[in-house]
């Protein structure tokens, strides 16, 4: 190898590692938004909406049967903020 090949090799390596990292970030960001049902999963429960509050916390609106639950998810803890039925919200407006 010539001395010109070494810098080109390292730049190509950094470029490929950067592409791998970018793909990982995109998958992490958009894979959760797909909400694809698993094989054999029942349709009783679904995620209606997800909002990221910051890097460690997010709000998730989950529907199960005829009730909806607002959950606060953090790294090591889950908390139910509110539970209501969709008929309460439509009649209250």
As a whole number of angstroms, the distance between CA 85 and CA 64 comes to 10
**CA dist 57 to 35, 54, 77, 88, Å?**
19, 5, 10, 27
41-61 pLDDT, tens digit per residue, is 567 888 889 999 998 999 999
3-29 pLDDT, tens digit per residue, is 678 888 999 999 999 999 999 888 877
Determine contact, residues 33/52, Cβ cutoff 8 Å. Answer: no
């Amino acid at each position: 190898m010539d001395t010109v090949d070494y810098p080109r090799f390292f730049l190509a390596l950094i470029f490929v590692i950067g592409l791998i990292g970018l793909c990982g970030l995109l998958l992490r960001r958009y894979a959760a938004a797909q909400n694809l049902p698993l094989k054999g999963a029942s349709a009783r429960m679904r995620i209606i909406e997800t909002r990221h509050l910051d890097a460690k916390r997010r709000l998730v609106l989950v529907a199960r049967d005829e009730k909806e639950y607002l959950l606060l998810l953090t790294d090591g803890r889950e908390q139910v903020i509110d539970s209501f039925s969709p008929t309460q919200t439509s009649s209250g407006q």
